[in-house]
Amino acid sequence: MGRRRFVESLAALGVTGTALANASKSALAKSDVDLGNEVPMVRAWKHTNHEEVVENGAKPEREPEYFGVSRDQWVKVQSARDAAEQLRNRLDIPGVQVGVTTVTRGQKPRKAVVVKHQTEEYDWQADFSPGVSAEKLRDALPATVTGVAGRGTEKARAVKGIPVVTKQQQVDFTDDAVSTAASYDYDCNYRPVPAGCAWRTEKGNVCTTGTPVYDEEHDENRLVTASHCFLSYDATDCRQNAGSGDKIGTRDKDKINFDHPPNLFDAAVVDLNSGTDVRRDLADEQCDTYRDPGIAGTMDDDWLHQLEDNGYNVTKQGARTGITSGTVKEVYDTYFEVDTTINGGDSGCPFYKNRTDSFATYTYIGGVLRGADPAQVTKMTEIESRFSVTV
């Protein structure tokens, strides 16, 4: 089957989005998706040259890794995603976020569209609040909306009566809200530099490395972490080891963004010093030790939405609170929320999911920590797209 017929066949099943746009016959053939009874979704973007990436610092080549869901499950989740997108496009209210969550109605869980009114306080810029009060926002919203799974395909299915819920939240990025506790994990020199270890700016504030990435524009390996670690202290350097002047790199002034809602985003790319390299592993507790399995790619939105719907966990590794896991509670356009323990010093840390197939176990990066409670995590797919980097 030629590629055109292959894509047309998937579209006839109702496949849309990244699963269709990046459809790969070879990758789908490797999966255990039953096309007669399931709809293929993208789990992650996985290295096809993992050994070269790990051993030689090669540019990652990736393909989609598929998984299958029943058509009923597909309709439930995809219709809610579509409903959120339709409402997001219709709302003419600055700074309001629209995502997908699960609520209980009549003692049964069901998909819902969540509309969030979030205010934020900062030390380094003007505070933020949406363009309408929380009360007026609630009054302006419909009680329910309709979503279409497979919109624009032969298998399109409309689902009516998807509830719309509102959420009000305040996020504090001021110094007073950050823990000043002196005890930190993964706080020493690692060479090469991995994901999930402590780092400091020249001003002394502690954060966590997110993940190594390959910078497509500069043809070299770099690091991703949270931007507010630099911005909140007007800092440029990335250093390791408490009390040490060991500089490992400098933030790239062209690849650092902190955006308030609705396009919530918080990430920065670190340009490494000459002679400093990365390692696609998570830091272990002793200096220059690392935890398997290796980082092999990036989690896709399809997987995040299925994890949210099923109440499954993702894991994070932060310099302040170590390794903890929690359920994915809400998924928005540029980030997702996780119910887990975080504290000052964890900012920028990786959220990830391990997956084992018949050959090995791999780590896939979902995003890096912005802050708040539940934890708000900037999606890795969004960081890759905005900064032209690849896990």
pLDDT tens for 140-171 read 999 999 999 999 888 899 999 999 999 999 99
**pLDDT exceeds cutoff 90 at 3:** no
Q: How many whole angstroms separate alpha carbon 173 and alpha carbon 88?
A: 26
pLDDT at residue 282 is higher than 70: yes
CA Rg, the chain, in Å? 21
Cβ 283 vs Cβ 195: under 8 Å:
yes
Cα separation of 127 and 374, whole Å? Answer: 20
Q: What is the pLDDT of residue 30?
A: 82
Stretch 25-35: mean pLDDT, rounded? 85
> Beta-strand (E) ranges in 179-303?
193-195, 198-200, 206-208, 211-215, 220-225, 237-240, 246-259, 265-272, 278-283, 290-291, 295-299
- pLDDT of res. 212: 98
CATH number for the segment(s) 177-390 = 2.40.10.10
Q: How confident is residue 5, by pLDDT bands cut at 50, 70 and 90?
A: confident
Two tokens, residue 185: 């994990």
Neighbour count for residue 288 (Cβ, 10 Å): 13
The answer to whether residue 286 scores a pLDDT higher than 80 is: yes
Q: What is the pLDDT of residue 96?
A: 96
**Residue 382: pLDDT over 90:** yes
Of the chain, the percentage scoring pLDDT greater than 70 comes to 95
Distance separating the N- and C-terminal Cα atoms of the chain: 31
Alpha carbons 318 and 226: distance in angstroms, whole number? 12
pLDDT of residue 308: 98
- Hey, is 209 helix, strand or coil? coil
Q: How far is 269 from 277, CA to CA, in rounded Å? A: 14
In tens, the pLDDT along 68-101 reads 999 999 999 999 999 999 999 999 899 999 999 9
**pLDDT range class, residue 266, cuts 50, 70, 90:** very high
Q: For residue 127, what pLDDT is reported?
A: 97
Across 387-391, average pLDDT: 98
Q: What is the pLDDT of residue 333?
A: 96
**Could you tell me which residues are beta bridge partners of residue 318?**
322
Amino acid at 230: F
The predicted-structure confidence for 321-333, as pLDDT tens digits, reads as follows 999 999 999 999 9
Instruction: Name the residue with higher pLDDT: 241 or 226.
Output: 226
* pTM for the whole structure: 0.94
Q: Are strands 335-339 and 313-318 parallel, antiparallel or unpaired?
A: unpaired
Beta strand 38-47 with 295-299: parallel, antiparallel or unpaired? antiparallel
Domain ranges of the chain: 3-69, 73-175, 177-390
